[in-house]
Amino acid sequence: MFYVVEVQDYVRVEPRLFGLKTSNAVAKQLQEIYANYHDKEIGEVIGVISVLEVGDGIIIPGDGAAYYNSRFKLIVWKPELQELVCCIIDEVTNFGAFMNMGVMKSMIHISQTMDDYVSFSTSNSLLGKDSKRVLKKKDLCLARIVAISYKGDNPKISVTMRQPGLGKLDWIKEEKQKTTAGSKRKSKEEKEIKKK
C-alpha cells in the first residue's frame, strides 16, 4: 500500500552542498539519504515529495557538516498482508518464481502458482499438468501477499496465485470471457423458458 509520510528529523548536509540555497541543499541531501531506503515501520521509500520546513542549522565540532531540523514528506510503499499486487516474473526456478512488484521483489512457491500439479520444464518455465498453463519469465501476473518476513535488511515477501481472480493476466482474461459467455447463454436459456 502506498502512503505519504510526514517526517521531522535532523538532516546532515555535507559540506559539498554548502554553496546551494539551504532548502535546496537539504532536499538534495534527503534524495541521497532516502535512495534505496527501507524501514520496517514506514516501508520502502519511493521518493521525497517535498521539504516543508528547514530550521536553523547547527555544526558539531569535528564533523564539518551542518545539521538542519527539517520537516519533509516521503512517498513510501509498505507491503500489507492480503494486498493484491501486479507482478512481472523475473526468474523461474525449480521451486517457484521471483516476482518483480515494481518497488520490491517477492517469491512464489511452485505449489502456489496454480490449481494444478506444476512441474519445472527444461525451457525454464512452470507447466501445469492438466491445464497446460505455462508461467515463464516476463509474464504479467496478479498475486496476493500471504507472508512478510522482516529478518535481514530487506523484507521477504511471499505471494500466491491460487485464489479466484488471481494468476497470469492472460488466464484471468480467459476466465472472465468464459464466465461472461456462460452468463449470456444462461440468460438466453431462461428467456426461452419464460416464453414457453
3-state helix/strand/coil string of 138-172:
CCEEEEEEEEEECCCCCCEEEEECCCCCCEEHHHH
The three-point CA angle 110-122-124 to 5° equals 55
Q: Specify the pLDDT at position 7.
A: 94
**Best CA proximity match to 68, nearest among 55, 52, 87, 53:** 55
Last residue in a domain, options 59, 77, 95? 77
Same domain, 175 and 101: yes
Q: What is the CATH number of the domain that holds 25?
A: 3.30.1490.120
Q: Which residues pair with 44 in a beta bridge?
A: 38, 77
Same domain, 88 and 65: no
Task: Please give the tally of structural domains in the chain.
Answer: 2
Does the residue 7 lie in any domain? yes
Looking at the fold, whether 100 and 42 belong to one and the same domain comes out as no
CATH of the domain at 88: 2.40.50.140
Tell me if 95 is assigned to some domain.
Answer: yes
Q: For residue 188, is it within any domain?
A: no
Span 79-103, pLDDT tens digits: 999 999 999 999 999 999 999 999 8
Which residues make Cβ contacts (< 8 Å) with residue 94, sequence separation at least 6?
110, 120
Residue with cell 500466491: 160
In a domain, 190, yes or no: no
Whether residues 90 and 171 share a domain: the answer is: yes
The pLDDT, as a whole number, for residue 196 is 61
Is 47 in contact with 102 (CB distance < 8 Å)? no
Residue ranges in the chain modelled with pLDDT below 70: 195-196
Are 12 and 34 within one domain?
A: yes
Identify the domain containing residue 16 by its residue range. 2-77
95 and 36, same structural domain? no
Please tell me whether residues 163 and 114 are part of one structural domain: yes
Strands (E), the chain: 2-13, 38-39, 43-59, 66-77, 84-93, 96-100, 105-109, 118-120, 126-128, 134-135, 140-149, 156-160, 167-168
Q: Quick one: 91 and 174 in the same domain?
A: yes
The predicted structure's pLDDT at residue 152:
77
- Give the global pTM: 0.78
Residue 171 lies in a domain: yes
